[in-house]
Each structure stands twice: as structure tokens, then as C-alpha cells.
Amino acid sequence: MDPALLREREAFKKRAMATPTVEKKNRPDRPPPPPSRDEALKKMRPPTAPKLDSSTYKTMSGSSQYRFGVLAKIVKFMRTRHQEGDDHPLSIEEILDETNQLDIGQSVKNWLSGEALSNNPKIDVTSDGLKFSFKPVYKIKDGKNLMRLLKQHDLKGLGGILLEDVQESLPHCEKVLKNRAAEILFVIRPIDKKKILFYNDRTANFAVDEEFQKLWRSATVDAMDDAKIDEYLEKQGIRSMQDHGLKKPVPKRKKAANKKRQFKKPRDNEHLADVLEIYEDNTLTTKGTNPTQS
């Protein structure tokens, strides 16, 4: 080895030994230094949740969001099925097969058949509790049922029927409404712009004078209730309509019988007076006979 290199190595060792070094030690009386910003942010970050797979999410029986998602899909399917004309009931297995939800857990299936579908206002249950069908707002199957329902509402003064309720209840609704368009009146409600169906009673169609129409439209009664309207009509010498309505016959009360019962005295057996017998001192005595002759 080169002697020059050896001399340099020895000189370096001597310089290193001569240089003093100070070792930093944590003193017990001095608090530890505060953590840096990066360390504090790491501690504040919550641990990331594991990602959910679609297969594991479907098997989570305790997820209420998943349960109600399955229920909503079933109700939507049952409504569409009813609107297409299929109203025969189905079992829970048939419903899950039709909605492609056969991979749900047994607990969700028990919840659907025992609680969710039975208590749902849009689902009807058979008497045995094993099959389910859609429960519409109105039980109407064709145009005749619809017109009968509208007539009943018109006669009883119940007003119209929402179009969306008819669309939900009546199978092939658009076709039926097209065929019955001349018998139905459509009115748009100004509050929410929903369509209302009324029965078109042609017997009530009559011509009204234009002057009377103007007077009718100029009368504002929005801020008045029925009591104020009746009071105003009475002041003008007009009787309210409640006096001209059909009056129901009041059933007559049966008068209570005030007659006092007469006490009838017991009658004597006069036809047995000749055979009256008296028992005294063990002797038999007959009226009209001598006791010594016996």
C-alpha cells in the first residue's frame, strides 16, 4: 500500500479524535418539543374506511338503505305490472325473480314478506298472507268503471279525481281516456298545475246571458266564508240555499204508553160453590149436607 495514503489516514484519525462532539439528550425537567405540522395533520386525519364491494353491499342485511331500496323497486314493479293489466297476486319468490333480486339475504326476505310488504299502503295481501298484489287508489278496471266513479263523485258533490290517481289505478289509462274524451272534463288546478277529471254532464249545459256572466265574475267572495255570505244574502232579502235543499224526513217518535195498568181482582170459583169442603177436627164437611149423616 502507498505510504502516502497511510500517512493521510493517520492524520485524519488524529484530527477526528481532537474534534469535540456534543451528544443531545432529553433532559427529564425539560418538556419534549412540539410535534411538527405534518405530524399533527397525520394524527388529525381519520382512518380511511374500507371500500365496499357491490357483492358485499348486497349481503349486508343490517343496511336500512339497501332494504328500502329493494322495497321501492318491488313497489314500482307491482305498479307497472298493474297498469299493464296483470293484477293476479304473486309470492315473494316470484316477485324477487321478476325484479332480479334473488341474491338478497334471508333476513331481508323475511322482512319483506313479514313486515314491509304487509304494512305498505300500496300493496295488498291475500287472506293467507303468502301472495301480494298492487293496491290502487280506486278499483277501476275499464272505461265503464271510470265513468261510474266520476258520476258518483258528481252526484255526491265530491268534486273531481286526480289524473295521476287514475293513471295509477286504471290499466291502459291513456287508451281509455282517449276513447272517453267526450264524456270527461279536464281542469288544471291553479295551485300545483295538476289535472283534475270531472264528469261531463251534458244535461247541465245551458246558455247563460253575457251580462249575468259579467256580474258573476265581478263578484269577489275569496275573503268571505259561508257564514258571511249567508249574512249578506239575508240582508239583501235573499234566502240562502240551505233552506231549499232536500229535507230528510224526521222519524216520528213513538209516544210512550201513559195508560196505567188496572189491577184485576181475582175471581172466585163460583161454579165450585156446591162442592166446597171444610176440614175441621179431622171431619169432612160439605156445604149443604149434614155432617151426622156421613
CATH class of 60-134: mainly alpha
Q: What is the pLDDT of residue 165?
A: 92
Residue indicated by cell numbers 259579467: 214
Query: pLDDT tens digits, residue range 233-287?
Result: 888 888 755 544 455 566 666 655 555 666 566 666 666 667 666 666 555 444 4
Query: pLDDT tens digits, residue range 42-77?
Result: 666 555 544 544 444 444 444 788 889 999 999 999
- pLDDT at 205 exceeding the cut of 50: yes
Q: What is the pLDDT of residue 59?
A: 45
Q: What is the pLDDT of residue 42?
A: 60
Question: Which residues have CB under 8 Å from 96's CB, separation 6+?
Answer: 74, 102, 104, 109
Query: pLDDT tens digits, residue range 170-195?
Result: 999 999 999 988 888 899 988 888 99
Query: What number of CA atoms fall less than 13 Å from residue 203's CA on the CB side?
Result: 3
For residue 125, give the 3-state DSSP assignment: strand
- Give percent above pLDDT 90 in the chain: 20
Spatial separation of the C-alpha atoms in residues 16 and 61, rounded to whole Å: 71
Strand ordering across the sheet containing 131-134 = 90-91, 131-134, 123-125
- Compute the mean pLDDT over every residue in the chain, rounded to the nearest whole number: 77
Quote the distance between the C-alpha of residue 259 and its chain's center. 57
SS3 helix, strand, coil % of the chain, rounded to 5? 45, 10, 45
